[in-house]
């Protein structure tokens, strides 16, 4: 057997071993994979913060909401339970699968949707409620994107991170409400 074939086999076996170890600790799915795909690591929003975000969103009949970087879908589910048709955009395929399973368990199929997509490639003009839990270095670029796409009156709820030039119109500790 050629040396390159042996080397390739060893590398493959090492990769497989590392992959299965990482799966058992949920490292590759929650932390490493999104970074390689151009996203951020997954950090969930606890139930208390979700309640605060929903309260600030002030969901009304007919609202159409989006969660940018929807993670495991918990905010998409909460927004749908509050009465909005809700879409989430997530780049991590494993979190998309988990989200879709969570939506099905919650009985919200047809009212809550998760899309496997990089949200930078999406147009948010159809939404009048936007929720997000991003990282600091994306907020400048995200502010520019949302300014271009959102209609006047759109409510934007941010968990922890602030937009560089916008002033919140409402706040509950680290949860901020912005309006276009």
Are 109 and 148 members of one domain? Answer: yes
- The pLDDT score that the predictor gives to residue 13 is 76
How far apart CA 31 and CA 87 sit, in angstroms, is 23
Q: Is 41 part of any domain?
A: no
**Which pairing describes strands 64-68 and 112-116: parallel, antiparallel, or unpaired?**
unpaired
Q: Is 145 part of any domain?
A: yes
Residue spans of the chain under pLDDT 50:
27-28, 31, 35-37
- The pLDDT score that the predictor gives to residue 10 is 78
Domain count, the chain: 2
Are 88 and 112 members of one domain? Answer: yes
This prediction has a pTM of 0.79
- Domain containing residue 9: 3-36
Q: Is 139 part of any domain?
A: yes
How far apart CA 131 and CA 56 sit, in angstroms, is 10
Are 96 and 140 members of one domain? Answer: yes
- The pLDDT score that the predictor gives to residue 11 is 75
How far apart CA 90 and CA 67 sit, in angstroms, is 9
Are 170 and 114 members of one domain? Answer: yes
- The pLDDT score that the predictor gives to residue 42 is 61
- Dihedral (Cα; 101, 50, 121, 19), 10-degree rounding: -50
The CB density around residue 38, as the number of other CB atoms within 10 Å, is 9
At 68, which CATH number? 3.40.50.150
């Amino acid at each position: 057997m050629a040396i390159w074939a042996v080397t390739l086999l060893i590398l493959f076996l090492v990769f497989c071993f590392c992959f299965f170890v990482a799966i058992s600790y949920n490292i590759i799915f929650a932390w490493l994979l999104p970074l390689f795909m151009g996203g951020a690591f997954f950090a969930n929003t606890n139930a208390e913060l979700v309640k605060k975000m929903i309260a600030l969103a002030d969901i009304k009949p007919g609202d159409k909401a989006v969660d940018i970087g929807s993670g495991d879908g918990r905010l998409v589910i909460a927004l749908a339970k509050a009465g909005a048709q809700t879409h989430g955009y997530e780049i991590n395929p494993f979190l998309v699968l988990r989200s879709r399973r969570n939506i099905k368990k919650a009985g919200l199929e047809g009212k809550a949707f998760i899309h496997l997509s990089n949200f930078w490639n999406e147009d948010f003009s159809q939404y009048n409620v936007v929720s997000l839990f991003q990282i600091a270095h994306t907020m400048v670029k995200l502010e520019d994107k949302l300014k271009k796409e959102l209609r006047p009156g759109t409510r934007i709820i941010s968990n922890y991170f602030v937009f560089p030039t916008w002033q919140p119109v409402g706040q509950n500790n680290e949860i901020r409400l912005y309006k276009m």
